[in-house]
Amino acid sequence: MSKVTYQLDGLGCANCAAKIESAVKKVDGIQDAYVDFSTAKLVFSYNDLHTEPLSKADVEQIVHTYEPDVNVHDDNSRVSENTHDDFDEKREKWRLIISLLTFFMALFLKASLPTVFLTMLIFTYVLSGYKVIHKSLRNIVRGQWFDENFLMFIATVGAIAIGEYTEAVAVMLFYEVGEFFQDMAVGKSRRSISALINIRPEIAHVKTPNGLEDKRPEFVAIDEVVLVRPGERVPLDGVIVKGETSVDVSALTGESVPNFLTTDDPILSGSVVINGVIEVRITKRYQDSTVSKILELVQNATAHKAPTENFITKFARYYTPIVVGLAVLIVAIPTFIYGVSTFSTWLNRGLIFLVISCPCALVISVPLGFFSGIGNASHHGILIKGSHYLEGINLIDTVVFDKTGTLTTGKLEIVEVITAPSYSKEEVIAMAQKIESHSNHPIAKAILNYQTSASKNTPPSPISSTSHNLISDLSEKYEEIGGLGLKAFFDQSNYLAGTEKLMEKYHIDYPKDISSIGTRVYIAKENVYVGTIILKDSIKEHASELIHSLHKRNIKTIMLTGDRPEVAGEVAAALNIDQFYASLLPEDKFNHVQTLIKQNRKVAFVGDGINDAPVLASATLGISMGRLGSDAAIEASDIVIMNDGLTSIHEAFAISKFTKRIVMQNIVLAIGIKLVIMLLGTVGLSSMWMAIFADVGVALLAVLNAMRILGFKPITLSNLTTPLNA
């Protein structure tokens, strides 16, 4: 499957955007297509086995059918921030200022100079409405009648026909004024959203034998070394090979506290170097880097439209033709009943009805609201793959947590070592460190970094890059036994390290009466038990507050873990979790979540995004915690928490609820006001001025209301002492 993106600079009509999307979907060979009005992007996909079904010329032809002034660009890498450039904005501003001045001067001269008054009205009508007139006439010729341009044109022509010259010019003029302010509001929202994701480095300073060479990040190869100076963004994911620095990762994680990094530490693209010059060896190509994946997620988030968005798109598609038909009936039926003498009265009411009917407020504000919610979430270090998932958070009634690395820090520490009679603590630790030397599991890290009393003055056994290389000594073998532990062969002996189930699998007699609570790693040599290592990790900050906040939302909490029941019970009791299940393999977690889904529960699973990938993918909503930069986390999850903080889950629920509230407000506002003024218009109690407000005024209010989402700040968990209102 290949995906093609085009930037549509100047796209200001949400209704036209929906028509462009529909037209592209109908092209043979197109498998899926969508137009993101919030970022003015057209994206379509097609099967790799076929040639690209749409060339740039084809795209331009489709786009210009509905929006002739839109410029189509095929530069997929850029986000247009100049949709409303200064020159166009100034030109439009002066066009409308001159139109307004001429209109009010005409009103002043109406009584004394009627001919001048009429001439100035004609000038104002043409100057303010020439774009609408041109588009409507062109669309009528093409058979595309039902859009806002047609509505404005037919309404004003009708008003002129019955002698309402002032009202006709006013409708056209104030419609254009409203469109100008509406475009400014949408443009501001687009620029705000672009600013949230403006983390793409433009240049990489690559070290070469001839000195530094500036390249675009797309052309930097793996293992090349780049120089990054203070104030610059790291262009690609890599490892620091020289220097040390503090880095600002707020654009990636939402975390404001800088991270200190030094030689051999991994560093992510998009991070800003605060001090010190560093050299970074590149480990990922641009298309696989963290910053690239974040940009792809945020910019293409509207590919998955929320049910509310889909409803509004379909609603607008049928709504306009229906109201045009109703307007005709409003004129025709009463005229037939009451006589031709009443025609002008009912024509005026029908025209008012037409002006009111434009669906701009709904078509623009609903998708803009959801995209603003996604933008706000990304600002807080929460990547949401689509508005479907943002809206879906509101439906969740059960949150299932993995334990290690999710509710707990995952940074285990050895708290006790129990040995068989013929072995010392130091010997058991040495065996365990040798067995775990090729593992990157949190338990392995804790064991490898542990120092016995005999080795306090020697460096701990690190997990170095060499530990992941191919084993050069053929007399050593290491094997991971999924969900149970590790098997190793060295020093002419077989070793095991893992859970009780591993001991039982190999029929090893081990002590079952250990009372200490913690994660237990049993060690065996030649199928004989030699000792037990007990580890514990601490509960994450704000874990208790998060569970409390979920309970306030009447959401059930469940914890699934592969750890022992005693350890799981201790954590569950400390956090007041409703239910927990322990000693689970990955497939057991999957089955538990599937059972909940079969019970018609809406389940969000929160895990680490790698070991729990099947469960994350199968849950109603998959939320991966941490693992920043992990491909598995991004691919398997619907929502990625970039800063590993539990507060982000609370923030995601709060942002989702606030977004839904604003979207529903806009729907009620737009439909409610339009229906009221439509009803008033049919009985002669509304005017053209009210109709203009119902169309342009409501659209502008809805867009401004949607933009409130960008500035929304959820109540922090630490301050959450009252019932949730967010």
Count of positions (residues) in the chain: 726
For residue 328, the SS3 value is helix
- Please, what sign has the CA dihedral across residues 93, 95, 100, 102? positive
Q: Which of 497, 551, 498 is CA-nearest to residue 717?
A: 551
DSSP 50: S
CB 642 within 8 A of CB 693: no
CB 710 within 8 A of CB 371: no
For residue 606, the SS3 value is strand
CA dist 226 and 110 (Å) reads 72
Beta pairing, strands 477-481 & 485-490: antiparallel
Category of 255 on φ-ψ map: left (φ > 0), alpha (ψ -120 to 50) or beta: beta
CA dist 146 and 451 (Å) reads 76
Select which of 183, 248, 402, 638 is catalytic: 402
Q: Which two tokens stand for residue 491?
A: 């020093």
For the chain, what percentages of helix, strand and coil (3-state, to nearest 5) are there?
50, 20, 30
Angle between helices 165-196 and 148-161 (to 10 degrees): 160
In the numeric block, the tokens 């982000």 are attached to: 648
Residue 402 falls in the annotated catalytic set: yes
Alpha helices in 162-249 (DSSP H): 165-196
Give, for 323, the enclosing helix (H) or strand (E).
helix 307-338
Write 46-51 long-range contacts (CB < 8 A, 24+): 46/1, 46/2, 46/4, 47/1, 47/2, 48/1, 48/2
CB 238 within 8 A of CB 280: yes
Instruction: Give, in degrees to the nearest 5, the angle at Cα 644 between 638 and 648.
Output: 65
DSSP 145: -
CA dist 519 and 564 (Å) reads 7
CA dist 38 and 698 (Å) reads 19
CA dist 116 and 123 (Å) reads 10
CA dist 102 and 106 (Å) reads 6
Active-site residue numbers? 402
